[in-house]
Amino acid sequence: MTGLILGGETLPISSFQNRLFDWSQESISKVQARKGIYEFYDSLEMVIFVGASQNVLETLQHYYDTGFSDNPCLRDATNFRVEYVDNPEWSLKEHIHVHKSTSGGTMPECMK
């Protein structure tokens, strides 16, 4: 099986790793109103934030409408990715663990 090794287990590579959207209203309109995980990327395509939501569309739309007023660090976001999952909280922990294990143990910039 092709995948990512986490804690000795091979996890399948999901669509989350394969689709990067531009940070725009047009791209947000393609997101579904479902539970999920989202990542924001800067212009160098570095992960700057990982979040979980019970409604990813609503969360991303809020960020867009408010210009990231809740987290000004995210104003550097130029792209995002989404993965729909049944348990966003668990998946968030998994994605943060993977990020830290592949980035020398550091958290994404806007999560420090």
Residue ranges of domains in the chain: 37-112
Low-confidence ranges of the chain (pLDDT < 50): 1-15, 17
Give residue 18's pLDDT: 61
pLDDT attached to residue 3: 41
Task: Tell me whether residue 1 is exposed, middle or buried, using C-beta atoms within 10 angstroms of its C-beta: 0 to 12, 13 to 18, 19 or more.
Answer: exposed
pLDDT of residue 2: 37
pTM: 0.83
Q: What is the pLDDT of residue 73?
A: 96
The count of other CB atoms within 10 Å of the CB of residue 18 is 9
